[in-house]
Each structure stands twice: as structure tokens, then as C-alpha cells.
Amino acid sequence: MYNDYAVLRSDLNSGKLTAVDVVKYYLANIEKGKHLNAFLSVFKEEAKETASEVDKKIKNCTAGRLAGMVVAVKDVLSLKNKTLTCGSKILENFEALYTATAVQRLIDEDAIIIGKTNCDEFAMGSSNENSAYGAVKNPYDHTRVPGGSSGGSAVAVAADMCMVSLGTDTGGSVRQPAALCGVVGFKPTYGRVSRFGLTAFASSFDTIGPFAKNVQDIALVLEVMAGWDEKDSTCVKKEVENYSSAIGSINENEMTIGIVSDLPSEGLQKEIKDTTDKVIGFLKSNGYQIKPVELPHAKYSIQTYYILTTAEASSNLARYDGARYGHRSKDSKTTEDMNVNSRTEGFGPEVKRRIMLGTYVLSAGYYDAYYKKAQRVRRLIKQDFENAFKEVDLIIMPTTPTTAFKIGEKIDDPLSMYLNDIFTTSSNLSGNPSISIPVGMDNSGLPIGLQIIGRDFDEIGVLKLANYIMRNC
């Protein structure tokens, strides 16, 4: 119905339609798109009730900045008194005790939360096939994956089941599904958005980011979510700029764009390479300086990422022991039995694989060889970005090596699955802000994403260029 919040809001303000109409429209689409399996819970009645409250506020001119914006939230983010499954059997009936700061800030501005979206178990995956509640399907081709781990959130926006959704990005889980589903997905700088209420996977990597159909809506939502929060000690005390009003103006001649000359290009689909080159050509002809940069250690990103995130995950996931909350195995004789059986029954194969891997790289005999070494490589990757950003303002590269692959194609081959993250993990290792925007289709009619990475806390630069490309290219 509406691809753009500003247009919707002006129609809400003028009384052309009501927030209740908007909610009904999205609920009908959720019902129509049930086979895509994008939602794990839908708050039908509650969303309509909230909408009617919002309508009153709009009439009284007391409505917040996001009044009537219908939002879906990935099911790793807490919403008080609502189930928080994390796509896992181990938390099947668990209800959250509080609301995540990022979600609360949207609610405080009168956004309407319509439901929780499906995802890979504990956000571990690139295809959404690791959810205990079934795979999510790509709306462009139901035999293909939507990407992961925030696949449900990407599909919810792509299939018009909400206006905006929230996902989480630890190694690409917002940008990769955005690319595969033809929508915009943004990963903020680490520390820009509070992680309070986000179920931890790899705490030094985890970020919360929005999906939308355009950059303007991403900027607005980010502006509301971002900023210091006393409940997250890694959240940075730094002023939040006015992203939504800053992104419109751009001075091409003042911007230098980097293209990575030593990017690992093995397995890069030709149409993705060609489309990326086309965008670069377009920028060049419109006055942008294009300059090659090197990221010499980026080729180690996947290895480094999978050592460090599994190490952090093995520690974070130790809390699911059947004792305090979540699934508890029925017939265990000792506490240890209960712990082992609850975890054996509650976790899926990918989560178990990562816990094992993480425990291994942290174990006494291997800590130096794997964990410590990977931490050093992480520092080098960060340094690579710092060096590159002395030369250029922004870096452009593909988001993914291929467009959406077939459901089942990679599930038995973790290495080939992990390689899907080849272009996204480096900015999680370094913490830099990055976005994926849709820039075209391959020969089978599947969406192609382009990634833009910026300096730490230069969300504005990233959003500006993204907006410019989407509007003009």
C-alpha cells in the first residue's frame, strides 16, 4: 500500500485513512503470505487496539514521530510478556520479562508492533533453515532461501506484511537477507544502538538494524533507536545526528568512494559483479572520485569470525541449562543429566556445532592457537579499515557472492554456507556501519544487493550515498 512512511504519515494526518486501516491491511497480507513462514507470532487484536489509540493521538496532534508505522520484530528481541523463542525449541514457551531498549524507543514514538519474525536459531545461520519452527521462503521464489538469520524480518518487508522490521546483524544477518529479498537493510556502528533486550549470540559483534523499502525510513527508525542507554555498557555516549534530514543533500565532488582491489572474488556471481561495476560507473560519471583501496586481511574474515563468534556463543549459551528457564528434559536423575539432556533436546544441530567449536577454540590447549590468534587478526582487519578510510570516505562492494540459493542446497555443507558471509563479516569484525541496498536483478529475476561501508559512526555518509544510488541509479 505505502512504500514510504512520510507519504503514509501525511495521509494519516489528513484523515485519508486511519492507523487501524493500515494494521488491517498488513494483517491481511500476513494471512495471505502465511506459506512464507515469516512470522512466529502475530499480535492481531493488540495491534488494532494500539492503532486506535494512535488514531486518537493523531487527531489530537500528540502523536509521536513514528505514529502508524507498522513494525515487525525479529524473535531474538525482547518484548515484555511476549514469547521470545530465538527460533529455538529450548525457549519454546519462554516469555520476555522486559522490552528491548531499541523496540521500546519505537513504541514510545507510536510505532505499532505487529508481531515477531522467524529467524535462524539464536541468529546462527545464513538461510533461515536453522529455525526450529521451519524454514522461511523467499517471496521471489518459494523454492529459495530468504537469507539469514533475520530472514523473517526481510521477508516481512519484501512481502508487504509490515512497513519496517528489526533484525540483528552479527556477521551479516541484516544485510545478507536484505540483499536476497530486494529490500534495504542497515547495520549500525557497533555501540550505536543499545543491545539491551537482544538475546546474546556473540556480544562483541551483535548489532540491531532495521529493514525497509527505502533509505529514508531506515534513517528515521535509526534516529529513534540509536543513542546511549545505561542498560548496555557497550552502548556509546555520542550524540545521535538527525539522520533523516541529513541524507537528502549530497556533494558528489567531496566524496571519494573506495573499491577493494584485493577482494576475494572466487565464487562471485557474474551478474553481481557486473551490477556492482555498473553502479561504480554511474557514480564515476556523476562526479564521484573512485579510488582502489586494499583490505589485506579481509581474506581471513570468515575464519576469524567463526572462531571468535563461536567462542562467545559457547559462553553466552551456557545459560540455557534447563534449570532456570526454557526447556527442561523430563526424566533426568541428576542435575548434570538434566543439563545435558535439556541442551541435547533443546538445541538444533547448528547451535550444537557452534558450541562445540567455541568450546574447543577456548580450551586450554588451543586458546593461543585459535582464539588469541583470531583476536589479533581482528585487530589487523580493523586496522585495514582505518587505513582505507584515510584514503576514501566510503567503501563499496557486493553484499553477497550469489543471489538467493535453493532451500536445502547448502544445509549439509556448513563451509559453503559460511562462505555466504564473505563480504559481510569484515565490518562486524571491525564494527563499521554498513548497508545493503537493492540494485538490480539477476537473469532468474532474483534481487542483487550492494553494500556500502563507512567510517565508525558515519551513519550519515553511508545513508546519504545509499539514498543517492537508490534514487538516481
Q: Nearer to ligand GLN by C-beta: 229 or 421?
A: 421
Three-state secondary structure along 247-277?
Answer: CCCCCHHHCEEEEECCCCCCCCCHHHHHHHH
Which residue reads 540491531 in cell numbers? Answer: 208
Identify whether 149 is a catalytic site residue.
yes
Sole window of 26-34, 62-70, 167-175, 250-258 interacting with ligand GLN (rule: CB under 6 A): 167-175
By C-alpha distance, which of 275, 217, 301 is closest to 451? 275
Residue 74 among the catalytic residues: yes
Binding residue (CB under 6 A) for ligand GLN from 85, 101, 149, 451:
149
> What is the helix, strand, coil percentage profile of the chain, to 5?
45, 15, 40
- Of 131 and 309, nearer to ligand GLN (C-beta) is 309
Closest of 178, 219, 54, 129 to residue 408, by C-alpha: 129
Task: Determine the Cα–Cα distance for residues 445 and 87; give it in Å rounded to an integer.
Answer: 29
Residues 392-431 that bind ligand GLN (CB under 6 A): 421
Q: Which stretch binds ligand GLN (CB under 6 A): 53-61, 120-128, 253-261, 369-377?
A: 120-128
Q: Does 179 bind ligand GLN (CB under 6 A)?
A: no
H or E, element range at 454? strand 447-454
Given 88, 150, 173, 194, the catalytic residue: 173
> Facing residues of 186 across strands?
435
Stretch that binds ligand GLN, among 162-170, 211-219, 232-240, 241-249 (CB under 6 A): 162-170
Rounded distance between C-alpha atoms, residue 113 and residue 213, angstroms: 17
382 classed as catalytic? no
* The only residue of 173, 194, 400, 426 in contact with ligand GLN, by rule CB under 6 A: 173
Question: Which residues sit opposite 394 in a β-bridge?
Answer: 257, 454
Cβ-closest position to ligand GLN: 173
Q: Which is nearer to ligand GLN, 201 or 385 (CB)?
A: 201
Q: Does 257 bind ligand GLN (CB under 6 A)?
A: no
Q: State how far the alpha carbon of 370 is from the alpha carbons of 310, 360, 417, in Å.
A: 11, 9, 21
Q: How far is the CB of 423 from ligand GLN (least distance, A)?
A: 12
Cβ nearer to ligand GLN, comparing 153 with 170: 170
Q: Does 185 bind ligand GLN (CB under 6 A)?
A: no
Grid cell listed for 237: 555516549
Q: List residues binding ligand GLN (CB under 6 A).
A: 123-126, 148-149, 168-173, 201, 309, 421
